[in-house]
Amino acid sequence: MTIKEQAERLHKTVEIFILSCIDSNGYPLTKAVVPGKHREALNELYFATNTSSKFVDAIIKNRKSSVYFFRQDDTAWEGCFLKGSMEIVTDMNIKEKYWLEDYREAYPLSVFTDPDYCLIRFIPSSGRFYNSYSVEDFEV
């Protein structure tokens, strides 16, 4: 199995993703999010957040960003760092596709058309995969 395939496998099983972008003062802005509704491939990841968040404002000003996810158990540590860019999704068909009923509590209108429901698309350009004591870079 290639490093990229290992990263693909890991991304489909983890419970939390760590997103980072650059704020307007040039500092990292980081948040933890749950995985999106669909996890088709590593080359395009989707995450939901609030339009009113500082994170969305930072992405609008600077698309450079990263995503990190990992798994740890008694015998191993696997992690994947992805570097790339984020963008705000405006296509309502895509926003509807990634809407989860669990989001109802987080958004006043309780539907995917709620203006505070923001879908972020992350497009990675490269990655670094960690497996126990081994590290390997890969292109996405």
- Residue 103: the pLDDT is 85
Share of the chain above pLDDT 70, in %: 100
- Residue 133: the pLDDT is 84
Q: What is the mean pLDDT of the chain?
A: 93
What's the average model confidence in pLDDT over 43-67? 95
- Residue 85: the pLDDT is 98
pLDDT at 110 over 90: no
pLDDT at 105 over 90: no
Q: Are 120 and 47 in contact (CB under 8 A)?
A: yes
Question: What six digits make up the tokens of 84?
Answer: 């790339």
Cα distance between residue 110 and residue 118, in whole Å: 13
Q: Is the dihedral of CA 44, 47, 51, 52 positive or negative?
A: negative
